[in-house]
Amino acid sequence: MKNITHRQLQLKSCIMSGCIILTVLIASAINASAQKAVVDSVFSKHGLDQFILDPANFRLPVDHAFDLKESTITAGTTKVIEAKFDPSHPPKDQWTVVSVDGKSPSLYESNTFRNTKAKQAVDKPDDKTYKIESESADKLVISYKLEAKSIPRETDFLKDCRVYMAIDLKTKHLSQLQLLNEKPVKVGPLQAKKFELVTKYTYNETTKRYLPASDNLILDAEFLKKAVTTQIKTEYSNYIKK
């Protein structure tokens, strides 16, 4: 059982890299089909800025310092990493792992975390796949798939996922991005029936940009013919513009 747990924890680290890669997308569920022109029309109708459709505006900021707390829960165990990001440091030193389960991190743990965070974002929408999922007086939900050719081989399962974007029509701002698989997907050695990443955002009126507040990744899968559920919860705080 120990060996299984160790391999699951390694996989979670890989999955989380995919998550932060994806921190940029996203939203919810099934309805009428629409091309991007229809989405543009709905944006115009509600006075929404096209800024919201650019995934680059939702990535982790590279011009802010901030704190991170990442909790990985699987098979009854929890691993907690606390880290800091500071763009004023040299590139290889911008991420500092403060602690792992309350203790000083090993060199391996620090390097693994940094390598995970250094991966490029995979977030380019395929304009042919936009849908309007729902529209009410208070909320607009649109969805799209990622451009297949932009997805690296190691995260090929993202081709079978859909991005959902929830917009608060009262504030005119994005509230949440969601990435959800449309059918079972293979994530590393696991066959997953559910892969879901939800990122919630705050909008900073001073800097005029979105800042991730939290990520919640859930993976329901099978490993060695046993059901495995992994959850990775990430909290971001103390943003300071540099």
Residue 3: predicted pLDDT: 45
Contacts of 119 (CB under 8 A, 6+ apart): 17, 20, 21
Mean pLDDT, all residues of the chain: 85
Under the banding of pLDDT at 50, 70 and 90, the label for residue 140 is very high
Residue with the bigger pLDDT between 12 and 237: it is 237
Residue with the bigger pLDDT between 77 and 2: it is 77
In order of 92, 113, 146, the CA distances from 158 in angstroms are 28, 22, 7
Lowest pLDDT segment from 1-15, 149-163, 179-193: 1-15
Residue 117: predicted pLDDT: 87
**Domain parsing of the chain, residue ranges:** 2-236
Helix H or strand E segment including 109: helix 107-117
Q: What is the DSSP string of 45-88?
A: HHT--GGGG-GGGGSPPSSEEEEEEEEEEETTEEEEEEEEE-TT
Residue 121 has pLDDT above 90, yes or no: no
Helix H or strand E segment including 235: strand 226-241
- Region 193-221 average pLDDT: 94
Lowest pLDDT segment from 100-104, 107-111, 146-150: 146-150
d(CA 225, CA 64): 43
Percent of the chain with pLDDT over 70: 86
Q: Which of 51, 49, 52, 53 is nearest to 36 (CA)?
A: 53
3-class secondary-structure state, position 33: strand
Residue 43: predicted pLDDT: 95
Residue with the bigger pLDDT between 74 and 6: it is 74
> For 3-47, what is each residue's pLDDT tens digit?
444 544 455 544 444 443 333 332 222 223 347 888 999 999 999
Residue 215 has pLDDT above 60, yes or no: yes
Percent of the chain with pLDDT over 90: 62
Residue with the bigger pLDDT between 11 and 238: it is 238
DSSP annotation of 89 reads S
Residue 37: predicted pLDDT: 85
Lowest pLDDT segment from 118-127, 130-139, 167-176: 118-127
Provide the β-strand partners of residue 141. 134, 166
- Region 201-216 average pLDDT: 92
> Which residue in this structure is represented by tokens 């939800």?
198
Provide the β-strand partners of residue 241. 64
